[in-house]
C-alpha cells in the first residue's frame, strides 16, 4: 500500500479486518506516521485547531498489524513488481510486491508563471499550514514595528489564488485571523489589512451552484475580502505580485491553491494517464497489469454515478477517496480469494465550506444551507469523519476553547529562516524517471543513498 491518506488508510484498515495474518502480509509506505485530515487544514493555518489535532495517528490501536515503512515511494517497476522506496533517512530500498495499491494523493498544481514556485506558499501539508500561520503573524509583527509606510502596506496585503473550496476556506479563515489579531496591535491601522482572493474562473466554487456560490461571495465581500474573478497571476516577486489584469499588489504573502495534480509517483509507472491521474477501470485496476490498483486523487476512477458509460471521472475529494479505499480493499480480497471484483459507484453527497466563525455554506444531499445551520453541518460532517475518538476529542476541545478564549496569535518560529515555498514542502523533485526505476530494480543504478 502506498500512501496513508484518506484512501490508503481506509483500504489498509479494511484489509487488516478482512484478511487473516496467514492470508497476507500488508505493508504501508508512508512518509508520516499520521493521516492528515486535509479539509481542516485552513483551521490549523488560522489557529482554530492545533496541528496535532488533525494528524490522526496510524498506530493508535494495537490491533493494527501492518508493517509501516517510513518513507516515500519514488518509483514503481510494474514488470518486475517492485516498488522503490526512499526512507526518511534517504536510504533507497526495493520492496517486491504481489499486489500494489497506489494512493499517494496529489500535489499542488503550478503553472509556468515567472516567480511562482520561488515565492508562493502552498496549503497542502501540515507543515505548510503551520508555516503560513507563523508567516501571517510575522507580517503583523513586522508591519507594527516598521516606520516605513511602503513596507507596512506590503506586509499587510495578502493574496490567495484559487477560488475552489481549499482557497476560499483558506482566505476566509486567515482573514478572520488577521481581523481578530489586529486588535492586539494598537499601532496598526486595521484599514491597511487587505485580503485578495483571485481565480481565473468566472465563479467561486462552481460546485455550490449559482445561488449558494453568490451567497458565499457576498459574505466574503462584506467581511472585506476583495474577490477578483477571471484574473490570475502574471508574475510573482518577493515583495509584489502582478495580476493578469495589470494590477500590481505589494505583498509578501502569496498563497497558491489553484488545484492539484496527481503525485509525481504516477509518472514513474510509464502508464496511461488522464490529466496526470493514472487511468484505471471502474474496479480501480490498472489495465494490462494484474494486481495493480490505484485510487483517490492520484487515479482517474470512472464516476459511474454521474455517467454509467464511464465518460466522467470522480473529482479529487476526500468523500470519494475514503469510499474508494474501502472498495479497493474489497476488490483486493476478492482477487485473492478468486471471486469477481465490483465496480466503484458512489453518488456525491454534497459539499461543506467553512468560512470561519458562524459563516459557512453547505449543500448536503442537495439542500442549500448558509450561516449557522451550514456551519453545524460542516463541522458535524468533518467531526464524524475523523477516524479516532482521540482525534474527535482533540478537535472538539480545540473548537470549544477557541470559541470561548479566542487565539493568542503566537508565532512559534519552528521553520523560521528555512526555505518554505511550494517545492520545499511538497518534495516534488524526489522521484525517479521510469528509466531510473528500471536501473534501480536491476541493481545497476547509481542513485545517491
Ligand atoms: C485545504 C484542503 C481542503 C479540502 N477540503 C475538502 C473537503 O472539504 N471535502 C473533501 O471531500 N475534500 C477536501 N479536500 C480534498 C481531499 O483532502 C483530497 O481529495 C483527499 O485527501 C484525497 O485523498 P487521497 O488519499 O487520495 O490523498 P491524501 O489524503 O492526500 O493522501 C495521500 C497520502 O500519501 C502520502 N504520500 C504522498 N506521496 C507519497 C509517496 N511517494 N509515497 C508514499 N506516500 C506518499 C501523503 O503523505 C499522504 O499521506 C481538501 C483538500 C485541501 C488541500
Q: Give the number of the atom of ligand 1 that is nearest the alpha carbon of residue 8.
A: 25
* DSSP class of 420: -
pLDDT for 37: 98
pLDDT for 343: 98
| Residue of 43, 298, 252 whose CA lies nearest to 155 | 252
Q: Give the number of the atom of ligand 1 that is nearest the alpha carbon of residue 430.
A: 41
Examine residue 254 and state whether it is found in any structural domain, yes or no: yes
Q: Give the number of the atom of ligand 1 that is nearest the alpha carbon of residue 2.
A: 43
pLDDT for 375: 96
Mean pLDDT of 108-132: 95
Q: Phi then psi for 40, rounded to 5 degrees? A: -95, 10
68 close to 33: Cβ distance less than 8 angstroms: yes
Handedness of CA 179, 142, 139, 36 (dihedral sign): negative
Q: Give the number of the atom of ligand 1 that is nearest the alpha carbon of residue 29.
A: 43
Q: Are residues 240 and 162 in the same domain?
A: yes
- Lowest pLDDT segment from 43-52, 97-106, 402-411, 422-431: 422-431
User: Cα(277) to centroid of ligand 1, in Å?
Assistant: 14
User: Cα(165) to centroid of ligand 1, in Å?
Assistant: 14
pTM of the full predicted structure?
A: 0.95
| C-alpha to C-alpha distance for 442 and 436, rounded to whole angstroms | 10
Confidence band, pLDDT 50/70/90 cuts, at residue 325: very high
Q: Which residues pair with 242 in a beta bridge?
A: 235, 248
Task: Indicate whether 448 pLDDT > 70.
Answer: no
Q: Are residues 289 and 342 in the same domain?
A: yes
* CATH, residue 275: 3.50.50.60
What is each CA distance from 363 to 167, 207, 213, 351, in whole angstroms? 18, 9, 11, 5
Q: Are residues 270 and 211 in the same domain?
A: no
Among 331, 348, 365, give the residue marking a domain's end: 348
User: Cα(4) to centroid of ligand 1, in Å?
Assistant: 9
Examine residue 429 and state whether it is found in any structural domain, yes or no: no
137 close to 155: Cβ distance less than 8 angstroms: no
Task: Report DSSP letters for 202-270, one per residue.
Answer: SSS-GGG-HHHHHHHHHHHHHTTEEEEES--EEEE-SSEEEETTS-EEE-S-EEE-S-EEE-GGGGGG-
Residue nearest to atom 44 of ligand 1 (CA): 3
Q: Are residues 251 and 382 in the same domain?
A: yes
Question: Measuring from each residue's beta carbon to the nearest atom of ligand 1, which residues come in under 6 Å?
Answer: 2-8, 29-32, 36, 38-39, 41-42, 72-73, 103-105, 123-124, 165-166, 263, 265, 296-298, 316-319, 321
| Residue of 162, 148, 172 whose CA lies nearest to 43 | 172
User: Cα(167) to centroid of ligand 1, in Å?
Assistant: 15
* CATH, residue 133: 3.50.50.100
Examine residue 37 and state whether it is found in any structural domain, yes or no: no
User: Cα(314) to centroid of ligand 1, in Å?
Assistant: 14
Q: Give the number of the atom of ligand 1 that is nearest the alpha carbon of residue 32.
A: 47
Report the half-sphere exposure of 413 (CA within 13 A, side-chain side).
1
Q: Could you identify the residue written with the cell 510494474?
A: 78
Handedness of CA 136, 139, 141, 144 (dihedral sign): negative
Q: Are residues 175 and 289 in the same domain?
A: no
Q: Are residues 20 and 104 in the same domain?
A: yes
| C-alpha to C-alpha distance for 293 and 13, rounded to whole angstroms | 16
Total residues found in the chain within this entry: 449
| Residue of 159, 75, 106, 143 whose CA lies nearest to 318 | 106
| C-alpha to C-alpha distance for 270 and 96, rounded to whole angstroms | 18
Q: Give the number of the atom of ligand 1 that is nearest the alpha carbon of residue 296.
A: 26
Average of per-residue pLDDT values in the chain:
94
Examine residue 420 and state whether it is found in any structural domain, yes or no: yes
pLDDT in tens, 138-172: 999 999 999 999 999 999 999 999 999 999 999 99
Q: Are residues 161 and 236 in the same domain?
A: yes
251 close to 135: Cβ distance less than 8 angstroms: no
Task: Indicate whether 133 pLDDT > 70.
Answer: yes
Q: Are residues 295 and 185 in the same domain?
A: no
Residue nearest to atom 7 of ligand 1 (CA): 39
pLDDT in tens, 12-33: 999 999 999 999 999 999 999 9
What is each CA distance from 410 to 38, 50, 100, 158, in whole angstroms? 22, 12, 43, 19
Residue nearest to atom 5 of ligand 1 (CA): 39
Q: Give the number of the atom of ligand 1 that is nearest the alpha carbon of residue 320.
A: 11
- With the most atoms of ligand 1 within 8 angstroms of its CB, the residue from 1, 2, 4, 5 to mutate is 5
Q: Are residues 403 and 325 in the same domain?
A: no
**Tally of domains within the chain:** 2
Q: Could you identify the residue written with the cell 489535532?
A: 53
Q: Which domain holds residue 309?
A: 6-26+65-108+261-348
Q: Are residues 248 and 269 in the same domain?
A: no
174 close to 195: Cβ distance less than 8 angstroms: yes
Task: Indicate whether 187 pLDDT > 50.
Answer: yes
pLDDT in tens, 355-376: 998 999 999 999 999 999 999 9
pLDDT for 125: 95
Examine residue 167 and state whether it is found in any structural domain, yes or no: yes
- Lowest pLDDT segment from 257-271, 346-360, 414-428: 414-428
pLDDT in tens, 385-409: 999 999 999 999 999 999 999 999 9
152 Cα distance to chain centroid: 31
Q: Give the number of the atom of ligand 1 that is nearest the alpha carbon of residue 6.
A: 25
Mean pLDDT of 92-106: 97
- With the most atoms of ligand 1 within 8 angstroms of its CB, the residue from 321, 348, 377 to mutate is 321
Dmax over CA atoms of the chain, in Å, equals: 74
Task: Indicate whether 378 pLDDT > 90.
Answer: yes
Examine residue 56 and state whether it is found in any structural domain, yes or no: no
Examine residue 397 and state whether it is found in any structural domain, yes or no: yes
| C-alpha to C-alpha distance for 441 and 73, rounded to whole angstroms | 13
82 close to 95: Cβ distance less than 8 angstroms: yes
User: Cα(305) to centroid of ligand 1, in Å?
Assistant: 22
pLDDT in tens, 285-324: 999 999 999 999 999 999 999 999 989 999 999 999 999 9
pLDDT for 62: 60
pLDDT for 64: 78
User: Cα(60) to centroid of ligand 1, in Å?
Assistant: 20
**Pairing label, strands 225-229, 233-236:** unpaired
User: Cα(297) to centroid of ligand 1, in Å?
Assistant: 7
Q: Are residues 360 and 328 in the same domain?
A: no
Residue nearest to atom 50 of ligand 1 (CA): 39
Examine residue 267 and state whether it is found in any structural domain, yes or no: yes
- Percent residues over pLDDT 90 in the chain: 90
Residue 278 C-alpha cell reads as: 493514472
pLDDT for 36: 98
Q: Are residues 126 and 199 in the same domain?
A: yes
Burial of 165-186, coded b for 16+ CB within 10 Å and e otherwise, reads bbbbbbbbbbbbbbbbbbeebe
pLDDT for 415: 80
Confidence band, pLDDT 50/70/90 cuts, at residue 449: very low
Amino acid at each position: 500500500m502506498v500512501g496513508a491518506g484518506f484512501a490508503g488508510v481506509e483500504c489498509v484498515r479494511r484489509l487488516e479486518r478482512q484478511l487473516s495474518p496467514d492470508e497476507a502480509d500488508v505493508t504501508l509506505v508512508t512518509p508520516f506516521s499520521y493521516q492528515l485530515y486535509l479539509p481542516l487544514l485552513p483551521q490549523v493555518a488560522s489557529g482554530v485547531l492545533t496541528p496535532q489535532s488533525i494528524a490522526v495517528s496510524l498506530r493508535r490501536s494495537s490491533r493494527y498489524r501492518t508493517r509501516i515503512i517510513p518513507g516515500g515511494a519514488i518509483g514503481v517497476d510494474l514488470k518486475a513488481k517492485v516498488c522503490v522506496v526512499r526512507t526518511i533517512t534517504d536510504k533507497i530500498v526495493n520492496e517486491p510486491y504481489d499486489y500494489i495499491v497506489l494512493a499517494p494523493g496529489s500535489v499542488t498544481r503550478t503553472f509556468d508563471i515567472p516567480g511562482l514556485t520561488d515565492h508562493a506558499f502552498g496549503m497542502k501539508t501540515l507543515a505548510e499550514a503551520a508555516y503560513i500561520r507563523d508567516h501571517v503573524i510575522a507580517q503583523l509583527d513586522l508591519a507594527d514595528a516598521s516606520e516605513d509606510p511602503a513596507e507596512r502596506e506590503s506586509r499587510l496585503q495578502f493574496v490567495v489564488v484559487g477560488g475552489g473550496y481549499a482557497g476560499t476556506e483558506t482566505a476566509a479563515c486567515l482573514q478572520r485571523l488577521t481581523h481578530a489579531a489586529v486588535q492586539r496591535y494598537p499601532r496598526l491601522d486595521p484599514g491597511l489589512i487587505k485580503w485578495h482572493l483571485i481565480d481565473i474562473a468566472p465563479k467561486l466554487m462552481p460546485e455550490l451552484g449559482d445561488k449558494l456560490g453568490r451567497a458565499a461571495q457576498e459574505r466574503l465581500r462584506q467581511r472585506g475580502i476583495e474577490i477578483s474573478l477571471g484574473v490570475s497571476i502574471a508574475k510573482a516577486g518577493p515583495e509584489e505580485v502582478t495580476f493578469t489584469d495589470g494590477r500590481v499588489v505589494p505583498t509578501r504573502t502569496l498563497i497558491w491553491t489553484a488545484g492539484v495534480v496527481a503525485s509525481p509517483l504516477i509518472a514513474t509507472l510509464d502508464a496511461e494517464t488522464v490529466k496526470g491521474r493514472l487511468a484505471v477501470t471502474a474496479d480501480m485496476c490498472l489495465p494490462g497489469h494484474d494486481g495493480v490498483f490505484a485510487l483517490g486523487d492520484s487515479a482517474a476512477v470512472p464516476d459511474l454515478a454521474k455517467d454509467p458509460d464511464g465518460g466522467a471521472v470522480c473529482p479529487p475529494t476526500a468523500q470519494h477517496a475514503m469510499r474508494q479505499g474501502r472498495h479497493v480493499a474489497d476488490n483486493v480480497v476478492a482477487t485473492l480469494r478468486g471471486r469477481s471484483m465490483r465496480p466503484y459507484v458512489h453518488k456525491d453527497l454534497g459539499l461543506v465550506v467553512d468560512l470561519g466563525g458562524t459563516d459557512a455554506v453547505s449543500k448536503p444531499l442537495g439542500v442549500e444551507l448558509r450561516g449557522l445551520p451550514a456551519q453545524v453541518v460542516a463541522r458535524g460532517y468533518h467531526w464524524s469523519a475523523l477516524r479516532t475518538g482521540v482525534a474527535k476529542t482533540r478537535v472538539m476541545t480545540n473548537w470549544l476553547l477557541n470559541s470561548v478564549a479566542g487565539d493568542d496569535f503566537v508565532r512559534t518560529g519552528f521553520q523560521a529562516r528555512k526555505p518554505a515555498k511550494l517545492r520545499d514542502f511538497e518534495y516534488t523533485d524526489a522521484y525517479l524517471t521510469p528509466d531510473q526505476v528500471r536501473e534501480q530494480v536491476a541493481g545497476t543504478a547509481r542513485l545517491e543513498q
